[in-house]
Chain A
Amino acid sequence: MKRRDLLYAVLALLVIWQALTWLVHRDILPAPWQVVQALVSELLYGELAKHFLASLWRVVASTALSIALAAPAGLLLGQSRRLNSLLSPLIYLLYPIPKVVFLPIILLFLGIGDTPKIAIIFLILFFQVLVLVRDQAAALRPELLLSVRSLGAGRRALFWYVYLPASLPAILTALRQSVGTAVAVLYVAELFATQKGLGYYIYFNGSTLFNYPAMYAGIIAMSLLGLGLYFSVDWMERKLCPWQFIK
Chain B
Amino acid sequence: MIQLESITFSHQPGTLIFQDFTWQAGRGQSWAVLGPSGCGKTTLLYLLAGLRFPSKGNVLVDGQVVARPRPRTGLILQEYGLLPWATVRQNAALGLRLRQFYGPDGRHAPPHPVQTSSVAVWLERLGLAEHADKFPGQLSGGQRQRTAIARTLALKPDLLLMDEPFASLDAPTRESLQNLILELKDEQGLTLITVTHAIEEAAVLGEKILLLSQPPNCATVVVENPSAGSPNYRSSRDYAAMCQRLRSQLQNEAVKL
| A166 nearest CB neighbor, chain B only | B85
Does the CB pair A157–B102 fall under 8 Å?
Answer: yes
Does the CB pair B99–A152 fall under 8 Å? Answer: yes
Q: In the complex, identify which listed stretch (A47-55, A140-148, A182-190) lies at the interface while the others stay far away.
A: A140-148
CB pair B84–A154 under 8 Å, yes or no, is no
Smallest Cβ distance from A175 to chain B, in angstroms?
A: 18
Chain A residues whose C-beta falls within 8 Å of the C-beta of B77 in the assembled complex: 143, 146-147
Q: Does B79 contact A (CB under 8 A)?
A: yes
What's the least CB distance linking A153 to chain B, in Å?
A: 5
Chain B residue numbers with a CB within 8 Å of A162 are 83
* A146 adjacent to B101 (CB under 8 Å): no
Q: Is the CB of A143 within 8 A of B98?
A: no
Report the separation of the CA atoms of residues A242 and B106 in the bound assembly, to the nearest whole angstrom.
32
Is A161 in contact with B83, judged by CB distance below 8 angstroms?
A: yes
Query: Which residues of A have CB within 8 Å of B102?
Result: 152-154, 157
How far is A166 from B85 in the complex, measured between Cα atoms in Å?
A: 8
Q: Does chain B have a CB within 8 A of A3?
A: no
CB distance B84 to A153 under 8 Å?
no
Report whether A243 and B137 are in contact in the complex, using a CB–CB cutoff of 8 Å: yes
A82 within 8 A of B: no
A-B contacts, CB under 8 A, total: 77
Cβ-based interface call for B216 (8 A): no
Question: B153 to chain A: closest CB distance in Å?
Answer: 12
A241 touches B51 (CB 8 A): no
B96-113 contact mask (Cβ, 8 Å, vs A): 1 or 0: 011101100010000000
B75 proximity list for chain A (CB < 8 A): 146-147, 150-151
Which range contains the number of B residues in contact with the other chain? 20 to 34
Contacts of B204 in A (CB 8 A): none
Known interface pairs A144-B83, A162-B83, A246-B137; A150-B49 also in contact (CB < 8 Å): yes
How many angstroms from the CA of A124 to the CA of B155 in the assembled complex? 46
Check B155 against A151 for contact (C-beta < 8 Å). Answer: yes
Residues on A with C-beta less than 8 A from B148 are: 147
Docked-complex contact B101 and A153, CB < 8 angstroms: yes
Query: How far is the CB of B135 from the nearest CB of chain A, in Å?
Result: 4
Among B51, B84, B97, point to the contact of A146 (Cβ < 8 A): B51
Q: Could you tell me if B81 and A144 are in contact, using CB atoms closer than 8 angstroms? A: yes
Residue of B nearest to A242 (CB): B135
Q: CB of B94 within 8 A of chain A?
A: yes
Q: Which residues of chain B are within 8 angstroms of A148 by Cβ–Cβ distance?
A: 83, 94, 98
Q: Are A156 and B101 interface neighbours, CB within 8 A?
A: yes
Residues of A within 8 A of B50 (CB): 150
- Complex interface: chain B residues within 8 A of A166 (CB): 85
Cβ of A228 under 8 Å from chain B = no
For B80, give its contact among A141, A150, A168 (CB under 8 Å): A141
Answer whether residue B138 sits at the interface, using C-beta atoms and an 8 A cutoff.
Answer: yes
Closest CB of chain A to B164's CB: distance in Å?
Answer: 11
Q: Provide the bound-state CA to CA distance between A148 and B102, in Å.
A: 13
Q: Check B137–A147 contact: CB distance below 8 A.
A: no
Select B79's contact among A143, A146, A154, beta carbons within 8 Å.
A143
Type the 1/0 row for A101-122, where 1 means its CB is closer than 8 Å to any CB of B.
Answer: 0000000000000000000000
Contact (Cβ within 8 A) B98 A151: yes
From A150, which residue of chain B is reached at the shortest CB distance?
B75
Measured between C-beta atoms, what is the minimum distance from A151 to chain B in Å? 4
Asked whether any CB of chain A lies closer than 8 Å to the CB of B191, the reply is no
Which chain B residues (61-90) contact chain A, with CB distance < 8 Å?
Answer: 69, 71, 73-75, 77-81, 83-86
A25 within 8 A of B: no
A243 and B101 in contact, given A141-B80, A147-B75, A165-B85 (Cβ under 8 angstroms)? no
Given A241-B85, A246-B137; A147-B101 close (CB under 8 Å): no
Q: How far is the CB of B139 from chain A (nearest CB, A)?
A: 10
For A151, the closest partner residue in chain B by CB is: B95
Asked whether B83 lies within 8 Å of A143 as measured between CB atoms, the reply is no
Are B135 and A243 closer than 8 Å at their CB atoms? yes
- Would you mind naming 11 contact pairs between A and B with Cβ atoms under 8 Å apart? A143-B77, A143-B79, A147-B75, A151-B75, A151-B151, A165-B86, A168-B85, A241-B85, A243-B84, A246-B135, A246-B137
Instruction: List 9 extra interface pairs beyond A151-B155, A154-B101, A246-B138, CB under 8 A.
Output: A146-B77, A148-B98, A151-B69, A151-B95, A152-B101, A152-B106, A161-B83, A161-B98, A243-B86
